[in-house]
């Protein structure tokens, strides 16, 4: 198979990494994967909005130097593998990248390109900020009360892919071993999945959540788990979460237990409260008391459910951004799929990828440009100039194409 040779854009500079933080030049090279299906439409819209906001916010002093890298169908059509090594290398080397949605080619040898990217780059934190944009149709009375950033562990839990179907030799063997050697009866008929969770990986996801809370002056970090039932996995996640807070952030945090035992329930100034909630109760909490939560750290499966439920609460998955982070490497992405029936129609909502781009700008420290896009997006939705998905839920909306929606956001940049 042929090798890819990515050429750096002229005048671009490489982002550095020193003492656990990014060193961002004014003209950083940022690789992008356009994505399959609706990817080209939403990427074109996103790139224009990010470039316009950056140019306006910094008078041309700062500018992203985009560099296309291949993955998915575009890579296969270029005669290379769906996930070329050069693409992985580029994401590692340039440290910050963004991608549209990807189809997993049938017979490609792995379950999902997205899962492969996360595993191969060890992107251990899936970060999903959820907030309401005024004017978006939402199913609850006060969607604006929910403003939360969810840190979902990305590498272990039942997502580790260690499972065997009912009736297989492996499942029977394992059932026999557990029954006879470990003394816990398991039916020979059972399909069996394994849920590995480790102290090291719990520490790093909770550490990332606490660091985020410190940097963004958030009042609390909530560990969401199902430890009342799964004591040595989910329960351990809670214990290890409190442990890393006490070991590494004793100055900045206090636990809910200490709040009551040492401070009579009165929060000391400037501290971050570390609390925990059982997952089922948490689904009620985000509906009934949404403003009591600002940052959540949770294992893989809880995080999967909770991030979609929270996104729906503020008006939809179509606008939910996401990032997958490692230490020193970040890949931003739209959270929806390739919506193949709309491919090439310039129709769909680019909001999810645009807001992932906003996260990217914040990650670079370019907060002025990020803020400008959020305000312009909100202004555009409030004016009811929206893509089909929002138009069908909004009385009196003016439905526009994906590219026109992006142009309206650009016009609304302050």
User: Would you tell me which residues interact with ligand NAP (CB under 6 A)?
Assistant: 38, 42, 101-104, 114, 318, 333, 336-340, 348-349, 352, 389
Task: Give DSSP secondary structure letters for 67-90.
Answer: EE---THHHHHTTS-SS-HHHHHH
The question of whether 263 is a catalytic residue gets the answer no
Question: In the complex, what is the shortest distance from the CB of residue 346 to ligand NAP, in angstroms, rounded to a whole number?
Answer: 12
| 6 a catalytic residue | no
Residue 411: count other Cβ atoms within 10 Å of its Cβ. 12
Q: Of 75 and 259, which has the nearer Cβ to ligand NAP?
A: 75
Shortest approach of ligand NAP to residue 15 CB, angstroms?
23
Whether the CB-CB separation of 219 and 296 falls below 8 Å is answered with no
CB of 350 to ligand NAP, least distance (A): 7
From the candidates 36, 304, 346, 389, which is the catalytic residue? 304
If the CB atoms of residues 342 and 366 are measured against ligand NAP, the closer one turns out to be: 342
Task: Give CA–CA dist 248/210, Å, rounded.
Answer: 10
304 catalytic per annotation: yes
Nearest residue to ligand NAP on Cβ basis: 337
Provide the minimum distance between the beta carbon of 43 and ligand NAP in the complex, in angstroms, as a whole number.
Answer: 11
Residue of 62, 99, 195, 226 marked active site: 226
84 close to 4: Cβ distance less than 8 angstroms: yes
Tell me how long the chain is.
414
Q: How many CA atoms lie within 13 A of 315 on its CB side?
A: 26
Task: Locate the DSSP E strands across 258-359.
Answer: 272-278, 295-298, 321-326, 329-334
In terms of Cα–Cα distance, which of 132, 51, 204 is closest to 381? 132
Quick one: the chain helix, strand, coil %, rounded to 5?
A: 45, 20, 40
**Between 178 and 317, CB nearer to ligand NAP:** 317
- Is the Cβ of residue 298 or residue 356 nearer to ligand NAP in the bound state? 356
Query: 9 or 337: whose CB is closer to ligand NAP?
Result: 337
What does the alpha-carbon distance between residue 169 and residue 301 come to, in Å, rounded to a whole number? Answer: 27
Minimum Å gap between C-beta 101 and ligand NAP is 3
280 is catalytic: yes
**Burial level of 247, CB count in 10 A (0-12/13-18/19+)?**
exposed
Q: Could you give the residue numbers annotated as active site?
A: 159, 226, 280, 304
């Amino acid at each position: 198979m042929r090798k890819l040779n990515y050429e750096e854009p002229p005048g671009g500079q490489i982002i550095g990494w020193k003492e656990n933080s990014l060193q961002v030049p004014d003209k950083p090279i940022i690789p992008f994967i356009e994505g399959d299906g609706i990817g080209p439409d939403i990427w074109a819209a996103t790139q224009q909005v990010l470039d316009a906001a950056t140019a306006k916010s910094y008078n041309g002093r700062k500018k992203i130097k985009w560099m296309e890298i291949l993955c998915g169908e575009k890579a296969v059509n270029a005669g290379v593998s769906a996930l070329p090594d050069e693409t992985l290398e580029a994401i590692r080397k340039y440290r910050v990248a963004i991608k549209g949605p990807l189809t997993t080619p049938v017979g490609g040898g792995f379950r999902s390109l997205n899962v492969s990217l996360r595993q191969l780059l060890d992107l251990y934190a899936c970060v999903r900020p959820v907030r309401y944009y005024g004017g978006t149709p939402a199913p609850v009375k006060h969607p604006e009360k929910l403003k939360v950033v969810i840190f979902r562990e990305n590498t272990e839990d039942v997502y580790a892919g260690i499972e065997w179907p009912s009736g297989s030799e492996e499942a029977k063997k394992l059932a026999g071993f557990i029954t006879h050697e470990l003394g816990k009866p398991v039916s020979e008929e059972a399909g069996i999945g394994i849920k590995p969770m480790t102290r090291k990986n719990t520490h790093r996801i909770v550490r990332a959540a606490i660091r985020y809370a410190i940097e963004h002056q958030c009042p609390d970090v909530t560990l969401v788990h199902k430890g009342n039932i799964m004591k040595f996995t989910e329960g351990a996640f809670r214990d290890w979460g409190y442990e890393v807070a006490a070991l590494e952030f004793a100055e900045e945090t206090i636990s809910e237990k200490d709040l009551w035992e040492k401070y009579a329930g009165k929060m000391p100034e400037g501290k971050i409260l570390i609390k925990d909630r059982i997952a089922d109760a948490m689904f009620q909490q985000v509906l009934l008391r949404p403003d009591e939560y600002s940052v959540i750290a949770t294992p893989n499966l809880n995080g999967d459910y909770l991030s979609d439920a929270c996104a729906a609460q503020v008006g939809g998955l179509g606008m939910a951004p996401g990032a997958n982070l490692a230490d020193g490497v970040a890949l931003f992405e739209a959270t929806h799929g390739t919506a193949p029936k709309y491919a090439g129609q310039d129709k769909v909502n680019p909001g999810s990828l645009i807001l992932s781009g906003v996260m990217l700008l914040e990650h670079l420290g370019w907060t002025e440009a990020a803020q400008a896009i959020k305000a312009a997006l909100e202004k555009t939705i409030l004016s009811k100039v929206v893509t089909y998905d929002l138009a069908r839920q909004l009385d009196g909306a003016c439905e526009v194409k994906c590219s026109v929606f992006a142009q309206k956001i650009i016009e609304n940049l302050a």
